[in-house]
Chains A and B, each alone.
Chain A
Amino acid sequence: MRKGMFYGLLFTAPAILGFAIFTLGPMIASLVLSLTDYNVFKEQTAFVGVDNYIRLFSGEDELFYKSLGITFYFVVLRVPAVILLSFGIALLLNLNVKGRAIFRTIIYLPSIVPAVASAMIWMWLLNPDLGLINSLLSRLHLPTSNWLYGEGSVIPSVVLTTLWGIGSTVIIFLAGLSGIPRQYYEAIEVDGGGWFRKLSHVTVPMVTPTIFFNTIMTIIGSFQVFNEAYILTQGGPNNRSLFYVFYLWRTGFRDAEMGYASALAWILFVIILFFTFIVFRTSKSWVYYEGGDRA
């Protein structure tokens, strides 16, 4: 197109400037700080080169590898669960049923209830003795669990509690579904195709851009899981829910070792960047844009 460069930059100027002014500086600052022994309370800060990174990778800091492993486990469990469940719920909410306005609102409600209030509910629902879930399980003669209080079950339990917060993901899927032209379904009906054919030939291909978006955002968000550890588990029991960013926060704020925490943060940055990059690269083979453009 003519003058594509000029208009392209013009339209994206606010975003680019915003990044340059508000985001880039702090990011560079933290990168530089990761090479220092920066402690907010100390008057002097010394440049220590890559010492922080050496301390991390040398194995001297056991909690680094431990929290990284726990976070990976969390991401692997959570990302597929969130995508599948929210897509399923979005399909249900897209049905032409009475009262779907109410249903949509209800699915979104947990996302707006303040975390301190909902934390109380997990404490009860997942309570090993009196909790609703265990009493239902034992009534059905199914094995019960210690949930948040068991070393083996704490991560799956945290994943479970986060599934209540998938409202935003569902909404984005709904917006994606609403953009599918009705004629496409009608065409399949004319061909005598059924429910499954519609799903696999129209719905899924048409929402791949939305699936792509939700997958990327869920990966980025899951790697940075923090609140659940902060409010629900405090990293316990026996450090089994010591999420990476929770550990990072503890180092940076409670122990005031902000230089070291910055090094932790940049390692996570590289990890997230890597996985986002992978998803972006593969998207060419599975994300379908009506606009015919590349991702």
Chain B
Amino acid sequence: MKILVTVKQVAAVDDDFEIRTDGRDVDPDFLIHDLNEWDNFSLEEAMKIKEAAGGEVEVVVVSVGPESVDEELRKCLAKGADRAIRVWDDSVEGSDPIAIARIIAAVAKNEAPDMLFAGVQASDHSYAATGIATASFLGWPHAAVVSLLNYTPGSKMATLQRELEGGTYAEVELECPAVLTIQLGINVPRYASLRGIKQAAAKPIDVLTPSALGLAATDVGEAGSLSRVRRMYVPAKGQAELIEGTPAEQVARLVKIIQEFKGV
């Protein structure tokens, strides 16, 4: 039994970031990296299933990205994933979520997991596309924004809840293997233990290239993408009137605003 968990190294911009000279992205010197918030929840969901099954389940994390991504993969290994796979070479540069999904699907074909978990979206670009596109390339059943899961490893059916808008949930039965995009709050992700961190150092991270996975050059990068970033820019300044001054002065104004609302 095996669960494949996709993870992403996300980027946030630094305080005083600059846009790249071609205008199409932020200068990488100003990016701060971390593991995507959603991925903590998908990994935890896989770990819960593994532990409930008494260890008969292998949890494999997969990511597409350069060497720096190993840092995030190690975090996942420290939390209990058994091994990690990272796919990269220069041809992957410029890939949109669909091209990334094609790569992950190729990994999944090799690994033949019983389930594939992805995050609903990533906190940097919020595409919310990679997991479901991966399902399409695999031809697997899929469900998006899963907030509760009942699944016994090896079972042909899973029962789950999808979180819809406005506090409504849909209960769904789905054939497995399936791709599920996992929502925040489905569980309470664990922290890595010291022992886990030590053990992670000895766990393998396999590094593959798209061509080793049987993908053509046109499957990845801009050629394998359905969209292309044309321009990034800082939006015009918001309408907020900034309340300046010392905290005491700022709060004096805030008190006035509250009292105006109350008609005092």
Say whether A and B bind each other.
no
B residues neighboring A (CB under 8 Å): none
A residues neighboring B (CB under 8 Å): none
